[in-house]
Structure 1
Amino acid sequence: MRLIIVSGRSGSGKSTALAVLEDNGYYCIDNLPAGLLPELAERALLHTELLQPLVAVSIDARNLPSQLKRFAELLNDVRARHIQCDVLYLDADEETLLKRFSETRRRHPLTNENRSLAEAIRDESTLLGPIIDLADLKIDTTHLNLYQLRDCLKLRLLHKPEPGTAYLVESFGFKHGMPVDADLVFDVRCLPNPYWMPELRDFSGLDQPVVDYLASQADAQEMYQDILAYLSKWLPRFAASNRAYVTIAIGCTGGHHRSVYLADRLGQALKGSLKNVQVRHRDLSE
């Protein structure tokens, strides 16, 4: 059995996550009272007609605060049944969440005559603190549209074929914001930039002209070897500490050339020694 617990602040994309999971064969329950989590897991194990049942539940600030405080205990109870359980936490910055509520005109579940929308969004983080601390995978949806979030969820959650640590090597551009959900960040802006060469500007780090150019740069090759040596040594130790997900972010200025080249090359190299290695280029379509 595989159980995915989806949580996050209101407006961060929880409904989208449940829809993606439902479309991919999961039995989904929105707003499950946290106290029912062990009972749901037990019933799914005993009464399902599926050999490998797939269940996803949303647990968020609509729960009673007293039950949210017991989340660690409830999660341990589920995992004691030898169930593969991943906790997904979605979030976005406060300005983005305010904008999303303004656009949809939905009521935040924590607002009332004494609590403004901005206060409700801030208070929600406190209420969900016990879940945030235990999340296996955190995804910042600030810069993701609906389709990008769907693709990200499919890559991170559904392309994990077996238990164990899933590694994501992600390129990004600092001018679009640093990924706050990254575990390791490498800044490669000191490398020669193909952007300043007119004949290379319109290509990406996946295109052969840029690949050839960066492969000929001694600094780029030294950076690649140093990062690969670090990751090859330390990523297995992340896995040994029972980490379900590890994100390695490689950043350049725009996220089109240097970071893309290095992220792709590092990802391919790591696939030779690690399972569940994925590569994503966050800003390549910008």
Structure 2
Amino acid sequence: MLSKLSMAVRRFIDIGANLTDPVFRGTYRGKKAHPDDLDQVLKRARDHGVDKIVVTGGSLEDSQSALDLAKSAVVVEKDGISMPQLYSTAGCHPTRCQDFVRHPAGPDRYLDALLELIKSNGEKIIAVGECGLDYDRLHFCPKDVQLTFFEKQFQLAEATRLPMFLHSRSAHDDFYDILKRHRDSIRGGVVHSFTGTPDEARALVDLDLYIGINGCSLKTNANLLTAASIPSEKLMIETDAPWCEIRPSHAGYRHVATRFGAATRKKERWEAGCLVKSRNEPVAIVQVLEILAAVRNEEASRLAERIYRNTIDLFFADL
């Protein structure tokens, strides 16, 4: 149903995809809507140049699930079909930092368990995170708890010498202050799903951090100006699937050349080989590239290769 890109020179690494979400097994809000189609999702991504995907972990339990999925996909060839290589992160998302407090053996044991998971699986866990601050969703976790356990997770990065997969929402000043204090003790990192201003991006780049761009980073004209301002040597791209879909109402959509409309079905009318409407997936990383290239006035394949090398340098240079 979906043709491959003609420009095979484009290589992609999706640095953030929530592939453990039940929607990739056909389950939405606890109800089964269609068969498990994760293999089809992965094949579509590989057909369009995605050769690696980082499965994000947002809690101790979720990090274990992300690791299990990454390990289960170690075979690149499956039934004669080339599949992307999967890797994972391990950490605690700011909205889930209450898990530290609620752990039966206490916060320190929760942190130790994350460290043990990372150290035991160095071939697959390639970053500490997702961790950071999210002041848009304080109803999930209070600010003081987020601040405490974001700072704690720098211990994981220091102990393992892994880069960090970082999250910031409406919290730039506190986020920046914490990063600045710890920057000399960590290897580096990427601030994913970035939606801040050009000045905020510049401050993070000045700390020698990368900026991750996805559909949520390209919604408004202000977002596009920010995306255009980031040095190419500090850019990475992602989908944050199944979230952060690029929609027709978004400012960046007018720059999208690869459109999946004819190959998309509602979940209730699922069809093998088709994308599911409103469920983002890694193949859509091509759209993120197309928007970035357009707003930056850069040639898409050259930009894709620059971003690919950035990602290798941070996450995969030692593998």
TM-score range, shorter chain: 0.3 to 0.5
Q: Which has the larger radius of gyration?
A: 1
State TM-score, norm by structure 2: 0.31
State TM-score, norm by structure 1: 0.34
